[in-house]
Amino acid sequence: MFDFDIVTSWFNGLLTGFMPQWAATLIECVVIGVIVLLVYALLALFYILYERKLCAWFQCRLGPMRVGRWGVLQVFADMFKILIKELICLKGTDKFLFKLAPYIVITSSVTMLACLPWGKGLQIIDYNIGIFFILAVSSVGILGILLAGWSSNNKYTLIGAMRSGAQMVSYELSLGLAMITIVCLAGTMNITEIVAEQDKAWFLFRGHIPAIIAFVIYLIAATAETNRGPFDLPEAEHELTAGYHTEYSGIHFGFFYLAEYLNLFIVSGIASLMFLGGWMPLHIPGLDGFNNVMNFIPGPVWFLAKAFFISYVIIWFKWTFPRIRIDQMLSFEWKYLMPIALANLVLMACFVAFGWHF
């Protein structure tokens, strides 16, 4: 696999060759920030079109077709439309918190995106406690949603925010336990090292039954964490209009919209890194010719393909299952999903202790 550290080291050496270290670091931070924001915007636009086309396919429709060939420019038209919309701040709202909330949500989402390694050496933030850091940053987004619902001075937004807070805090436990199960198998919380441990076989196959159970739990909890159907109670259109962002317009509404779709990519990317090997190619023991061919596919292509596949499954959930009630959603988490995740963590610890994994 190509090591992108070669490129980053060359760029750093190029800058430090004719300027002081502090100036080179400043330029590198600016370049990285621009790249992250550009990738963030492009991924969000892609995911909007991706879901529209998939849900149309599930429902035997065509989806957006009028703007551009096959409707691919429809998302750009929608983006320009939302950028020129007036920003409205209604009377009676807490104006400071009302305007702050979407920025908290988008900041949490961008920070998590920066933690995902797209290839060997192609990562911005690489902590030795990367999994813990991602779980901590993801919790910050809940604060933005609660502030948005409370500061809007609207009963529907407040109900949506309270639902979202209860849902995300609850399912975050199962999500974390599923990730800790893989951390137990890998023996590290560093995301790069977790991926490197899967060079021979992906953890979904190496971990036997506990890894498969953790994968299923992760998919369910991640669907709830991103407020997607059948767990889209915070934005239930028939009950709450648009939930916690009912009163938002223009780019502020766009921030919530972008964050929702990028969170879908982020949870899919984390799943691909922890269960499906991330940028690691598919290797089958004994088939050296096949493995050599797989090695020619670049790491970022593997990562994106796996992330898009997981996103496809989550989108499939939304357009297949009906929306459940809030009491059913919370009962499912506290009575079934979390106890199963706890028992599965103990089972994985036994597998690791006795060496029953590959």
Residue 237: pLDDT above 80? no
Instruction: Kindly report, residue by residue over 60-91, the tens digit of the pLDDT.
Output: 888 888 888 888 888 888 888 888 887 777 77
The predicted pLDDT at position 271 comes to 93
Residue 122 burial (CB count, 10 A): 19
Instruction: Kindly report, residue by residue over 177-210, the tens digit of the pLDDT.
Output: 999 999 999 888 989 889 888 888 888 888 888 9
The predicted pLDDT at position 15 comes to 84
The predicted pLDDT at position 270 comes to 93
- What's the rounded Cα separation, in Å, for the pair 201 and 302? 14
**Which residues does residue 119 pair with via DSSP β-bridges, in sequence order?**
122
The predicted pLDDT at position 303 comes to 92
Residue 113: pLDDT above 80? yes
Instruction: Kindly report, residue by residue over 121-175, the tens digit of the pLDDT.
Output: 788 888 888 888 988 888 888 888 888 888 888 888 888 888 888 888 889 899 9
* Nearest CA among 172, 170, 162 for reference residue 108: 172
Instruction: Kindly report, residue by residue over 258-317, the tens digit of the pLDDT.
Output: 888 888 999 999 999 999 988 888 877 777 788 788 888 888 899 999 999 999 999 998
Q: How many structural domains does the chain have? A: 1
In this structure, the chain runs to a length of: 358
Residue 234: pLDDT above 80? no
Alpha carbon 80 to its chain's center: 24
Which residue's structure tokens are 């610890």? 349
* Nearest CA among 167, 145, 166, 326 for reference residue 243: 145
Asked if 327 and 293 count as a contact pair (C-beta separation under 8 A), the reply is: no
Q: What burial letters (b/e) apply to 56-86, b meaning 16+ CB within 10 Å?
A: beeeeeebbeeeeeebeebbeebbeebeeee
The DSSP code for 27 is: H
The predicted pLDDT at position 317 comes to 86
Q: DSSP letters along 31-44, please?
A: HHHHHHHHHHHHHH
| Domain with 248 in it | 5-354
Residue 320 burial (CB count, 10 A): 10
Asked if 228 and 267 count as a contact pair (C-beta separation under 8 A), the reply is: no
- What's the rounded Cα separation, in Å, for the pair 176 and 165? 16
Residue 358: pLDDT above 80? no
Residue 50: pLDDT above 80? yes
Residue 239: pLDDT above 70? no
* Nearest CA among 265, 280, 308, 275 for reference residue 179: 275
Q: Indicate the range of 12-26, 99-113, 142-156, 241-255 predicted with least confidence.
A: 241-255
- What's the rounded Cα separation, in Å, for the pair 12 and 178? 38
**Which residues does residue 261 pair with via DSSP β-bridges, in sequence order?**
none
The predicted pLDDT at position 308 comes to 93
* Nearest CA among 197, 215, 208, 211 for reference residue 356: 208
Residue 357: pLDDT above 70? no
Q: DSSP letters along 328-355, please?
A: HHHHIIIIIIHHHHHHHHHHHHHHHHHT
The predicted pLDDT at position 157 comes to 83
The DSSP code for 122 is: B
Which residue's structure tokens are 């648009």? 242
Q: DSSP letters along 74-92, please?
A: HHHHHHHHHHTS-----TT
* Nearest CA among 357, 100, 313, 343 for reference residue 207: 357
pLDDT-derived band of residue 238, with 50, 70 and 90 as boundaries? low
φ, ψ of residue 122 to 5 degrees: the values are -100, 75
* Largest separation between any pair of C-alpha atoms in the chain: 69
Residue 236: pLDDT above 70? no
